[in-house]
Amino acid sequence: MLTERQLRILQVIVDDFIQTAQPIGSRAISNKQDVAYSAATIRNDMAELEQFGLIEKTHTSSGRIPSEKGYRFYVDHLLTPFHLSRQDTSAIKQTFSTNIRQMEEVVQQSAALLSELTNYTSIILGPEMLETKLKHIQILTLSDFSAVMILVTDTGHVEHKSFRIPDGMDHAEMEKVVNILNDRLAGVPLMMVPGRLKSEVQELLKQHTVHFDTMFAYLRSFMETEQPLKLYFGGKTNILMQPDFQDLNKLRSLYTMIEEEGETIARLLKGEQNGLHVSIGTENKLSAMQDCSFVTASYTADGIHMGTVALLGPTRMEYSRVMSLMHVLTNKLTSAYQDWQK
C-alpha cells in the first residue's frame, strides 16, 4: 500500500507535470513550498511509486513523469474538489444568460466556451432526435422545373432538399402529394418515418398520383438518408497547439482524426451516456487518441439522455478544472433544455 506521503508526492508530480509538461526531480519536489521532506526521502518514495507503475522516467536519470496508470490513480483518488474561478463561472453564466431561441445555438456556444476556457478541443454531440417527431412537410415550387421540400420537426429542426419536378407534374398533383405526406407522416417520430413511408404512403401515392415512380424515389432518398449526427467542434486547433504534440506524425494523425473521423467520434459519444467519464491514453480505442485524454459528460432532459459533451486534451490534462467545468456545463445544458421545452 501507498503511504500518505507517497500519495502526496504522486499528487505533486502529477500537478506539476500538468502545469509544466516537464519531468520533475526529487530536488524540485523537495523545494516546493508545501513539501517538507528532503530530496532523498522523496527519491525513496519515488522509487516505490515507480515500482507500482504510477510514475516513469523518460530515461535512466531524469525526473519522473506520471504514467498512464498514474493519471488514472490521480483521477480516481487524488482529485481535490475544485472550485471554479470567478472568471470561469461568470463566463459560463454569460453564455447561458441570453434568451434561448435555438437549442443548436446554445450547444454550439457551449462547445466554443468549453474549448476557450480550457484550450483543449471540445466536441459536443447535439440533442438526439430519437424522440423528435415530424411536425410538418411542405413543398415549395421554385420554378417550373424545380422545387424544394422542407421538413420541420417539433424541436424546430428544419431539413430541406431541392429537387427537379418530374416532367408534366402539375401543381394540383404536387399538392396532393403534400397532403398525403402530411396526413400520414405528421406527428410520426423521425426514426419511424422511413418505415411509415413504405408501409402507408407508398400505396396511397401509387393510387393518387401519376408520377409515382420518380416522386417516390425522391422521397426515399430524402427521408432515408440517415439523420446526420450533429457534432459540434470547438477549438479544433487548440489541441494541436499543446506542447505535448511535437511529433509531426502524431500531429498529422490527430488532425486527420478530427477532420475525418467524425462518424467514429459520434458513435463513441453516443455510447457514453452516464455521468462524467474519463478515458486516459490507451484506454481510448481510437489509435490517434492514444496520447490524449478524453472526458465525456452527458446531459439529459427529464432524465432521458439528450446529448454528450466531450473534451479532448493531452493526457496531461487539467483534470480537476475540466471535470468541474463539464459538470457545471452539462447541468446548465440540461436545465437550458428543460427551459426551452417549457
* CB 154 to a second copy: min, Å: 5
What is the pattern of x (binds a second copy, CB under 8 A) and - over residues 88-127? -----------xxxxx------------------------
313-324 core/surface letters (b: 16 or more CB in 10 A; e: else) = bbbbbbbbbbbb
The rounded distance, in Å, linking the Cα atoms of 266 and 331 is: 21
The rounded distance, in Å, linking the Cα atoms of 320 and 265 is: 24
* CB 28 to a second copy: min, Å: 27
The answer to the question of residue 60 lying near DNA (CB under 7 A) is yes
Q: Which of 31, 20, 26 is nearest to 55 (CA)?
A: 26
Q: What is each CA distance from 301 to 199, 268, 336, in whole angstroms?
A: 32, 21, 9
Give yes or no for a contact between 270 and 229, defined as CB atoms under 8 angstroms apart: yes
Q: Which is it for the CA torsion 62, 75, 35, 48, positive or negative?
A: negative
In single-letter form, the type of residue at position 54 comes to: L
Task: Compare residues 1 and 248 and give the one whose CB is closer to a second copy.
Answer: 248
The rounded distance, in Å, linking the Cα atoms of 113 and 35 is: 36
Q: Identify residues 12-51 at the interface with DNA (CB under 7 A).
A: 23-28, 36-41, 43-44, 46-47, 50
Task: Compare residues 21 and 140 and give the one whose CB is closer to a second copy.
Answer: 140
Decide which of a second copy, DNA, none touches 276; Cβ closer than 5 to 8 Å per partner kind: none
Stretch of 53-61, 87-95, 97-105, 225-233 contacting DNA, by CB under 7 A: 53-61
Q: What is each CA distance from 39 to 21, 24, 45, 50, in whole angstroms?
A: 21, 12, 10, 16
* CB 198 to a second copy: min, Å: 21
* CB 155 to a second copy: min, Å: 7
Q: Identify residues 47-66 at the interface with a second copy (CB under 8 A).
A: none
Stretch of 73-81, 110-118, 235-243, 282-290 contacting a second copy, by CB under 8 A: 235-243
> What is the chain's Cα-based Rg?
27
Q: Which residues bind a second copy (CB under 8 A)?
A: 99-103, 135-136, 138, 140, 142-146, 148, 150, 152, 154-156, 158, 160-164, 218, 236-237, 240-241, 246, 248, 251-252, 255-256, 259-260, 340-342
